[in-house]
Chain A
């Protein structure tokens, strides 16, 4: 039996999606972190080096002093050596008075805006092959009786800073990689924690028996409650529909049976009273059809009973031996009519199983009914109950026509063996037995006997775990 229909998959897994999203998010964060660290490091080092450069340019400017015949100017080497502290940097300077270049590199790029006041102006510019960071400061000096603007420009390469920035970036990159590697197992863990309750719920629903229509009571996270609620609502509606169908079946069977029994009785009387052979043949056909429909009605009721009871399966100890003996007693008169003898063994001592007594009774009755139906007159039916390897087995063997080799699986609903001839039957019997067996965690098989006839085996766990 198919237990559930596979839902159409959207092609992605929630778990996979969660993991990928966690990892992708981590990647974005790591890259952002990398750039942030690099930028911050660069800024910090530039700011500190600018401070040194600024101090140096001010020191140079302060070293300019007017003397009698012009300006005196000393390069402050201490300041320059500070500039080289970061590594082998190249240092350039120029000194100009007004627009006139006086000393140093003449073509050093001038500041974009003239420096005012005391604080230096910082800027970056290319000079030859070098990228320079420059600082410029302007002082007013009394020269030849007039105030002249003296501008000092001090430039410096920043190879050391670039090196430090590269180091910082490398460290940031390693740290980022570390985070990323850590993010993968963490994402897997987080996804498992999130998906776990969904998996458990799905498992709890999947584990249910095919007839289990109780509401889902499995604890579910808040986000899944609407889904569970919808599922339970659906189950409740299905139960309602099933119950209505059952009531309908019982009611319909009842209504059909009363007029049917009148028809049957009248037909029997007519058959006994008429001697016209053609009429007798018609009446026999009629009686056979009535037999068939009343048997079908019984089996439909049995099937409804089994479905209903397996849906609310509550196992309790059942004495299978007493049950089988009772069913045999009930069928004895029918067997006797055709001089069929029941040969029972193992029914004199209680044999307990966990199960639903009524469902098992329906199953036993249908097994024996089937055996009776296919037995020859004056045949024997062997009924044996025994415990074997932790299972309880009821074997019913008949000496009838058996099964034809190409029948294979006989249990499909309304299917019948190919060699049943004129024997009345709807074929629902085997389905009923099988469903009752399944509800008990057991199994049912029907196979040909070595000698003649068929052998039906109902196998139940001796102390079964409920199927639900």
Chain B
């Protein structure tokens, strides 16, 4: 996905950009609303991550102007003050969703997917690999004529593996990416999802390989 991040704190913006890049997403960063306007004029984005308080204005006013001009790129507002009136006023002004800092990136991406799913056709989320097509928004895997539905964690696992095919991911790395840090997860939990995804990849020309004691990787058959 291609994001525009509008955030005035340099440190935080840099961190968010690197973190989203880990998941294979391209992110441009604007420090002010003026910069944001320039970015939006020059390139299409799947989604805007918009902070509320910015040096040259309120993100919510910017959003309202965007919506008035019938530019409907999905927007997820980010704010540090989680007061209820903030949330309500944001959604009233046309935000598609709202997330409170500090956020869980897995949750942010889940929210992005949900928003993009509602904006059907807004983004082409299909990826091709060997004999299958993976659609992250539709949560489907298409092999030839057959479409297989993916559940949330299978989808997330495939997304991670597909972002760098051939790379080996350790069990604990995958657990960190797949589960919330609030949860207590055993090392074996990942095996369930690997097993399920492996069955769904049957006949796709790709294989989820287990490297005993090391981890997993996605390779062509």
Contacts and interface: CB of A to CB of B under 8 A. Distances in A.
B177 interface: yes
Given A258-B101, A333-B110, A362-B84, A424 B182 contact: yes
Contacts of B181: 284, 287-288, 291
Contacts of A405: none
Interface stretch (A69-77, A177-185, A249-257, A453-461): A249-257
Interface stretch (B15-23, B38-46, B141-149, B203-211): B15-23
A292 B114 CA distance: 25
B113 A262 contact: no
Nearest to B105: A268
Interface string A241-266: 00000000010011101101111111
A294 B182 contact: no
B15 A288 contact: no
Nearest to A300: B82
A380 B106 CA distance: 21
A3 to B, nearest CB: 26
Given A275-B170, A288-B182, A291-B181, A336 B18 contact: no
Interface of B: 9, 11-12, 15-16, 18-19, 22, 80-85, 88, 97-98, 100-107, 110-111, 113-114, 151-153, 156, 170, 172-173, 176-177, 180-184
B180 A337 contact: yes
A291 B181 CA distance: 8
B18 A262 contact: no
B102 A263 contact: yes
B112 to A, nearest CB: 9
A253 B110 contact: no
A193 interface: no
A284 B184 CA distance: 11
B83 A291 contact: no
Contact of A333 (B22, B107, B183): B107
22 contacts: A253-B82, A254-B80, A254-B81, A257-B80, A257-B82, A260-B101, A262-B9, A264-B103, A269-B15, A269-B18, A269-B19, A272-B22, A280-B172, A294-B102, A298-B82, A301-B83, A302-B84, A305-B83, A336-B110, A339-B151, A362-B84, A423-B183
Interface residues of A, number: 49
A330 to B, nearest CB: 8
A256 to B, nearest CB: 8
A332 interface: yes
Given A257-B81, A257-B82, A337-B153, 18 more contacts: A250-B83, A253-B80, A254-B80, A255-B80, A258-B101, A261-B101, A272-B22, A288-B182, A291-B182, A298-B82, A301-B82, A305-B84, A333-B111, A337-B107, A338-B180, A339-B152, A358-B88, A423-B182
Contacts of B18: 269
A128 interface: no
A136 B81 CA distance: 112
Contacts of A373: 182
Contacts of B100: 257, 294, 298
A262 B182 contact: no
Given A250-B83, A268-B19, A258 B12 contact: yes
Contact of B152 (A253, A298, A336): A336
Contact of B80 (A261, A265, A339): A261
Contacts of B85: 358
A403 interface: no
Interface of A is mostly: helix
A56 to B, nearest CB: 107
Contacts of A333: 97, 107, 110-111, 113-114
B56 to A, nearest CB: 18
A102 to B, nearest CB: 122
Contact of B106 (A298, A337, A358, A361): A337
Contacts of A330: 97-98
A265 B15 contact: yes
Given A260-B102, A269-B22, A422 B81 contact: no
B182 A332 contact: no
Contacts of A377: 183
A358 B16 CA distance: 31
A257 B12 CA distance: 11
Contacts of A263: 102
Contacts of A334: 107, 110
Given A257-B80, A287-B181, A337 B110 contact: yes
